[in-house]
Amino acid sequence: MNFTQLKLENADEVIQLFYSTFRASENEEEAIAVSGLVTNYLQNYPRKDLKGFVALDGIQIVGCVFFSQLNYIESDVSVFILSPMAVKTDFHGKGIGQALINYAHQELRREGVNITMTYGDINFYSKTGYCPVSEDAIAAPLMLSYPDGWLAHSLDGTSDLKIEGPSSCITELNDQSLW
């Protein structure tokens, strides 16, 4: 398995990966929503506030994860949020998801990112270092319908999991139905 940054020439393959994976794990509506989000991401890519990483089996993309910037105007801490990610259904349970996140963390750390956030299932994301945080400690950019899913990870191991002030996200995530 190889890991690399996502290139725009692989946009269609990645959109299809999100559609088929979420159709299998959730339903058609979720598949359309998530692949639509990824399509929006890739209309303006590459860019500094959005990073995509892929897992490759030969030349086939079998996993993809996106991280986008969260801005905390009262703080100089660099924060990115993981959303969404998918591993091709036939490849689940082989450690690819965790290895892809670890690769992405390494790249983000190299670029000076201090903290990564996500909004999801602690049972999976705790395997790559995420732990639950309150919105008082680290503000979410929109209202959370499932506050227990608000998770943080210190990439440098030293940053406190506490950030002053409110936050904002990239336009594509600025949609209450996603939170």
Ligand X SMILES: CC(C)(COP(=O)(O)OP(=O)(O)OC[C@H]1O[C@@H](n2cnc3c(N)ncnc32)[C@H](O)[C@@H]1OP(=O)(O)O)[C@@H](O)C(=O)NCCC(=O)NCCS
Q: Write out the residues near ligand X by the rule CB under 6 A.
A: 21-22, 25, 84-87, 92-98, 120-121, 123-124, 127
How far from chain centre, in Å, is Cα 140? 14
Q: Which is nearer to ligand X, 77 or 122 (CB)?
A: 122
- Cβ neighbours around 102 below 10 Å, total: 14
Angle at 39 between CA 36 and CA 45, to 5 degrees: 150
Cβ proximity to ligand X: between 16 and 164 the closer is: 16
Residue partners of 60: CB distance under 8 A and separation at least 6 = none
Give the tokens for residue 12.
């269609």
Considering the complex, state which of residue 121 and residue 164 has its C-beta at the smaller distance from ligand X: 121
Contact of 56 with 3, CB cutoff 8 Å: yes
Least distance from ligand X to the Cβ atom of residue 162, Å: 25
Residue 139 CB, nearest approach to ligand X (Å): 21
CB of 101 to ligand X, least distance (A): 8
Least distance between ligand X and beta carbon 98 (Å): 4
